[in-house]
A and B are shown apart, each in its own frame.
Chain A
Amino acid sequence: MHSEDKQALNRLTAHLFRENAGKMTAVLVRLYGIDSLDTITDAIQDTFESALLKWRYSGVPENPSAWLIKVARNKTINALKRDARSVTALTSALANNTEPEVVFSEYEITDSQLRLLLACCRLDLTQQKKMILTLNVLCGFGVREIANALLLSEEAVKKALYRAKSELKNKKQQFENPEKEDIRKYSVMLYMSVYLLFNEGYKTTSDAAGINTDLCYEAIRLAKLIREQDTANPEINGLLALLFFTIARFPARITTTGEWLTLAEQDRSLWNRTFIAEGFYYLDQAKPEQELNTYYLEALIASLHSMASSFDHTNWQAIVYLYEQLERLQPEAALVRLNRIVAEMHISITSEQLEAIDQIETMFGKENRFVWLTTKAYAHERLGDLIVARYWYNEALPFAKTAMDRAFIAKKRA
């Protein structure tokens, strides 16, 4: 390339490669079968290497996504042809190779990704393994990135991936010939996987970053993908609204020195207004026609926080009411109960709420005990009993999972 060709350089959009890794995997796996997953993964890696070598010099082509998928498809076909062992894959590869310049429609790409996501969600594996697989095949995360994001060792991620991929191949029927009704039937699983992915990003603390925003953005991308299939579906709209209201608060949630701030302490001017507006856009389309769903209720609660000019001006009455509705839908959910009690405390604090907190102690396992203990401490704090509050904050310390948790306690004890 000559210097004069270089005037207007195309830029790559953020995470273009990651996103395209997921799209290409989904489309190619659909064309050439799950059995070819490893060949396809290698071909995609190869494609990125070619792009790296070329684009460094010539800049980004006009339509980088189209370039990538074309090259990845050709590399996959060549690899399948070379690989004599995959006879069946070869026949389907050749059968699909009638058009040399096949262009994949947006619909095809979306549909393939949804199918693959669904196949991942349906596997009979732990939630964590499914998440690792999803991050790898649909979100283009490498082993190192997954290990960092989920606070696991690379070895553990490799093992989990190996296991999950072979399970995916075993259950290829679920991907290759899903029943027509599948997306609707299994939508609950899809929503849950997105919700959990977002939560994982919200709670994992790598370094001082506190919130692993990459995971949260991936969750939002997948949620939008699901919504494309059925834009009027109240549940997915509710989920998206919830995710946007939550992500809007991220900039205010952590101090520059890396400490958590509670809702009461946050500088609300830092909340991202664009995301809040987006939250309301989806909330408008989330009103359920018949049954209530948890995402809608949680989104409504989040919207009330977004609208409040300050912590004290929050509509706690409405929030308590919404938590009560949530409790009806999820009587077993300990955190929902606890949150309802906390919301009540913000209307007026009495010793009754302390009793209520004590009553639900057994609903909290070791995993959640930190939240229960800090809430109990907080109730005492609100009652003005600071010495007792400090005692319970101390009790919570051994259950702290992250550096942020510990910093939070340290601040409370100071």
Chain B
Amino acid sequence: MKEFLMLIRENTNYGSFTAQEMQEDIEKHMQWVEELIQKGHFKEGNPLDAEGVCIRGKDRMVTDGPYVETKECISGFYFLLANSLEEARDIAKGCPSLELGAMVEVRPIMVTDDAFGG
């Protein structure tokens, strides 16, 4: 099994959601993760706090960000286990955040040890 990083980018402003809808969304995610665990595809996952800073270049320029209100903001990440990028892609297609307009990015994690013949 190879390891993949899945990033969820979404607008985390749920202002128009009702209490019931938010509960249902949580339940969908929990069910999804539970399924991933059962099938051995889940390694790790965590949300990211909206607060943060960006530091740029050799001047170490510090700015606030990322901006939560934009769809480009990463709200959380998962480490998935799959045999191929295709399989990881199909797993990621099941992410319930997509229903709400999120964008999900899946990237294979390079195994650097390989360079040393591991």
| Residues of chain A having any CB pair with chain B under 8 Å | 1-3, 6, 9, 12, 15-18, 20-21, 45, 48-49, 51-60, 140-142, 144-145
Given A18-B20, A48-B22, A49-B22, the answer on whether A12 and B27 have CB atoms closer than 8 Å is yes
Whether B76 sits at the interface, judged by CB under 8 Å, is yes
- Chain A hits for B15, CB < 8 A: 45
- Give the one of A15, A49, A51 with max B CB within 10 A: A49
Which residues of B are at the interface with A, using a C-beta cutoff of 8 A? 12-15, 17-23, 25-27, 29-30, 33-34, 37, 42-47, 75-76
A143 to chain B, nearest CB (A): 8
Beyond contacts A6-B37, A144-B18: 5 other A-B pairs, Cβ-Cβ < 8 A, are: A12-B23, A15-B20, A17-B20, A141-B18, A145-B18
Could you list some 6 contacts between A and B, CB below 8 A?
A1-B45, A3-B37, A49-B13, A53-B12, A142-B17, A142-B20
Q: Residue A3 contacts which of B20, B21, B42, B76 (CB distance < 8 angstroms)? A: B42
A9 touching B19, Cβ below 8 Å: no
Given known contacts A18-B19, A21-B19, A56-B76, is B43 in contact with A3 (CB within 8 Å)?
Answer: yes
Considering only CB atoms, which chain B residue lies closest to A24 in the complex?
A: B19
Given that A1-B44, A1-B46, A2-B44 are known contacts, is A56 also in contact with B20, CB under 8 Å in the complex? no
Chain B residues whose C-beta falls within 8 Å of the C-beta of A15 in the assembled complex: 20, 23
CB distance from B12 to the nearest CB of A (A): 7
What is the minimal beta-carbon distance from B45 to any residue of chain A, in angstroms?
A: 5
Q: Given A6-B42, A53-B12, are A17 and B22 neighbors across the interface (CB < 8 Å)?
A: yes
Residues of A within 8 A of B23 (CB): 12, 15-18, 48
Q: Which of A9, A51, A56, A144 has the most CB of B within 10 A?
A: A56
B45 x A57 contact (CB < 8 A):
yes
Whether B26 contacts A52 by the Cβ 8 Å rule is: yes
> Min CB distance, B97 to chain A, in Å?
8
Least Cβ–Cβ distance between B27 and chain A, in angstroms: 6
Known: A49-B12, A49-B14, A57-B76. A9 touches B30 (CB 8 A): yes
Nearest-Cβ distance from residue B91 to partner chain A, whole angstroms: 14
Q: How far is B34's CA from A30's CA once the two chains are assembled, in angstroms?
A: 39
Inter-subunit contact A56/B30 (CB<8 Å)? yes
List of 4 A-B pairs having minimum Cβ-Cβ separation, nearest first: A142-B18, A56-B29, A17-B19, A17-B23
Chain A residues with CB under 8 Å of B27's CB are 12
Instruction: Pick the contact of B33: A6, A12, A17 (CB < 8 A).
Output: A6
Query: Which of A52, A142, A145 has the largest count of B CB atoms less than 10 A from its CB?
Result: A52
Are the C-beta atoms of A12 and B43 separated by less than 8 Å?
no
> Which residue of the partner chain, among B20, B25, B42, contacts A52 with CB atoms under 8 Å?
B25
Residues of A within 8 A of B12 (CB): 49, 53
Q: Do B75 and A53 touch (CB < 8 A)?
A: yes
Specify which of B20, B34, B42 lies most central, judged by the most chain A CB atoms within 10 Å of its CB.
B20
Say whether, besides A3-B42, A6-B37, A49-B14, A55 and B30 are in contact (CB < 8 Å): yes
- Interface centre among A9, A18, A53, A58, by most chain B C-beta atoms within 10 angstroms, is A53
A12 to chain B, nearest CB (A): 6
Cα distance A45–B13 in the bound complex, in angstroms: 10
Q: Specify which chain B residues have a CB less than 8 angstroms from the CB of A58 in the assembled complex.
A: 46
Min Cβ gap A45→B in Å is 7
Pairwise interchain contact B26-A142, C-beta atoms closer than 8 A: no
Residues of chain A within 8 A (CB-CB) of B13 are 49
* Chain A proximity of B29: nearest CB distance (Å): 4
C-alpha gap A48/B15 in the complex (Å)? 10
Report B-chain residues with C-beta under 8 Å of the C-beta of A6: 33-34, 37, 42
Q: Are A55 and B26 in contact (CB under 8 A)?
A: yes
Bound Cα distance from A59 to B32, whole angstroms: 11
Give the CA-CA distance A60 to B17 in the complex, in Å: 19
